[in-house]
Copies of this chain bind each other. A is one copy, B any other.
């Protein structure tokens, strides 16, 4: 397949780097201010080097990437809320051109799912978004395989930064601010970690799962009930530990409601993964509880999920 990759952050760059290894070519690659387009396939190494040294991927205009020759648009620009632009517009343009779309950007699926589905219904292109929830963990594909109507609830740890902070607070008896600063030093938390620690990122993933499990629900972030971990005192984790428990930022979808917040869980439970790992639990009708865990983020991890979605388009 010929891929147009929009977004040159960790995920977009990794997709460009790994595409050939998965048997695909990249015919367009853009960040917010530049692009490189070549219908014979761009030179991935050149573009990635240009991005590192000059801050631009090439000398073309970003809009050229959208109108380039490609089979699949890979939407890996940063997640935005509300109208989910410019990601939503990219998806619409590709679908109107009867092209496939694979998203790593959570915005369009979390905020404008019914519109995406109706654009897809009018298009010869298909939309996939497994990479938006849990990176390479097979969350969306497992739900599709089991059948959304046969799953009554999802619970999960879907933000690695918040999980790292809570793990460290519990293990070391340290306070939130101290651990967050450490996480920022390690590169586990961003300079502005708001979306990770206030529950927004986990909520977006919960909303996406809600839209898969209940396709007519039209869930958006506004429907989610969200608490973060910023105000959690270290003493709460000590109290939990005395009882063999710990605290995790859990996102849940059940009974038509997405909820995110710190919850008590048994210390060694499937929903208490260590460090930055993620975990998801599905309650199924005929097969009991299914647990999946893995690395929920990371450039190569999420890129491999994007490329698995590309392969699914072919089958």
> Within 8 Å CB of A293, what residues of B?
270, 290-291
Contact with B along A300-315 (1 / 0, CB 8 A): 1101110010011001
A216 to B290: give the CA distance in the assembly, Å.
31
A294 near B304 (CB under 8 angstroms)? no
Interface positions of A from 269 to 315, Cβ below 8 Å from B: 270, 284-295, 298, 300-301, 303-305, 308, 311-312, 315
Which residues of B are found within 8 Å of A308, using beta-carbon distances? 145-147
State the Cβ distance, A131 to closest chain B Cβ, in Å.
11
Q: Is the interface of A mostly helix, strand, loop or mixed?
A: mixed
| Residue among B135, B289, B298 making CB contact with A294, cutoff 8 Å | B289
29 contacts across the A-B interface (CB closer than 8 A): A136-B146, A136-B284, A136-B290, A137-B287, A137-B290, A138-B138, A138-B141, A138-B142, A141-B141, A145-B308, A145-B311, A146-B304, A146-B308, A147-B311, A150-B304, A268-B268, A270-B293, A284-B304, A285-B304, A286-B300, A286-B301, A287-B294, A287-B298, A287-B301, A288-B295, A289-B294, A289-B295, A291-B294, A315-B315
Q: Which residue of B lies closest to A291 (CB)?
A: B293
Determine if A292 and B295 form an interchain contact, defined as CB atoms under 8 angstroms apart: no
CB-CB contacts below 8 Å: A133-163 with B: 135-138, 141-142, 145-147, 150
A22 to chain B, nearest CB (A): 8
A18 CB within 8 Å of chain B: yes
Contact between chains at A135 and B287 (CB < 8 Å): yes
For the complex formed, measure the closest distance between the CB of A236 and the CB atoms of chain B, giving whole angstroms.
22
CB distance from A80 to the nearest CB of B (A): 26
Query: A285, A292, A303, A312 — which one has the most chain B CB atoms within 10 A of its CB?
Result: A292
- A-B pairs, top 3 by smallest CB distance, nearest first, are A136-B287, A268-B268, A286-B304
Chain B contacts for A289, CB-based, 8 A: 294-295
Q: A145-B311, A146-B308, A288-B301 given. 11 additional CB < 8 A pairs?
A: A136-B146, A137-B287, A141-B142, A141-B145, A146-B304, A284-B304, A286-B300, A287-B294, A288-B294, A288-B295, A291-B291
A295 to chain B, nearest CB (A): 5
Q: How far is the CA of A301 from the CA of B288 in the complex (A)?
A: 8
Once the chains are docked, how many angstroms separate the CA of A289 from the CA of B303? Answer: 15
Q: Which residues of B contact A294 (CB under 8 A)?
A: 287-291
Chain B nearest CB from A193 CB (Å) reads: 22
CA distance A136 to B145 in the complex (A): 10
Cα-based distance from A289 to B285 in the complex (angstroms): 27
Q: Which residue of B lies closest to A304 (CB)?
A: B286
Q: Are B286 and A18 in contact (CB under 8 A)?
A: yes
Check A312–B145 contact: CB distance below 8 A.
yes
